[in-house]
Each structure stands twice: as C-alpha cells, then as structure tokens.
Amino acid sequence: MKVHASLLVHSSWTEIFAPIQGEIDTVLTRLQGVNTAPAHEMIFRAFESDLESLKCVLVGQDPYPTPGNAMGLAFSVSTSVQKIPASLKNIFIELNSDLGIPIPKNGDLSPWSEKGVLLLNRILTTEVGESGSHTHIGWKKITDHVAAELGKRNLVAILWGKQAQEVAPFFRLKVEGVHPSPLSAYKGFFGSRPFSRVNEILIAEGKSPIDWSL
C-alpha cells in the first residue's frame, strides 16, 4: 500500500489509513525538504507489520532527535548506534528484571515488531536535533485514529507517560505506567513488570503470549 510518494506500508492497513489519507498527505507535504528524524523513508516503518499479526501496541512519544537514532519504531535504534538511549536502557533493565531476558547488546527492537508488537510513536517525526518540534503539525489526529482502530481489535496497549496515556480511552486492554526516562523511571517504572502483565492479559483473553526476547 502506498501512503505517499515512495512510502510503503503493509496492505492490511489500507482500510485503516483510507479515512485519514488527506491528513497524512497534508503532514507529509509540510515535511518536504525538512531534515526529519526518522528519515522520510522510515516514517511509516511501524506499519510494515501485518495488522492481523498484532497483539500489542507499545506507544512512545516522539522520535529520538539525535542524528541517526530514530528508525521509525518507537524507542528503537539501529544496531549501528553504539550509545543506547537512556530510556531504552531502562526498558532493558526492566525487561531483565521482569522476565529474566538478558540485556541486549544493541537497541534494535525490530524483533518485537516481528512478534506481534506495534512500536508506535504518538508523533511520527521531529526535526533532527530538536525534540518535540512536530507535536502540533497533525500527527496526533492520525495516531488517535490508528489507536482507536487498534482498540477495536482488542490489542493490549502499553502506555508509559502522559503523552502515551492520551490514547488510553481507546483501549479496553492496557498496561499504564511511568515513562522509562531517567527523570521518572525510579518513580514507578522499575518493578512495574509491564511485559509479563501484557502476557497475563493475552492469556486471559485466550491468546498466545509474546516472546519478548531480543
């Protein structure tokens, strides 16, 4: 499915994206010539996953502004990034504490997106070097629509922090908590067991749990 120009997403998203195609076109037209994080060809990478395979959506805020970090998947950085962002380090610490999964050597979360987890940022772009610069250009309306559709499909939502929790009303099944950033992780993120809690919900719903290993 072609969203705009050469941006491709899985064909299973066609029905969801159709009502917001105008909004998507407007935002992407506004971004022409802008040095975005992630790069333009990665903006919709989260939607490369087959919608029918999804069990969980992990909602982030906006992409990492550091050059080369953002890759179109919430919280994830490519294997070539040597300095793992602090929030992601804290996620790995909690993953290890919760499920005993060894702390990964890199920050690439692509394996999760291949196991039924949609890694969706609330705001899909920012300007390189400037956090939050695209908060008010139209992305929230688009991700609100996506979240509403995912909620109808009974995905489990992981919502860390205030921005992610804006979409909480769309979901019947959810795990909410403190954002994993260094500023707040010690205020309730550590010890919150989000990964095992998601699996407990899935099992209660008659679905298979997620393999959270990386």
- Residue (of 86, 124, 84, 123) closest to 214 by Cα position: 84
- Residue 102 preceded by cis peptide, ω within 30: no
Chain center to CA of 120: 2
Q: Which of 171, 205, 145 is nearest to 58 (CA)?
A: 171
Residues near 112 by beta carbon (within 8 Å), at least 6 away in sequence: 58, 119, 210, 212, 214
Q: Which residues are catalytic?
A: 62
Contact 139, 125 (CB under 8 A): yes
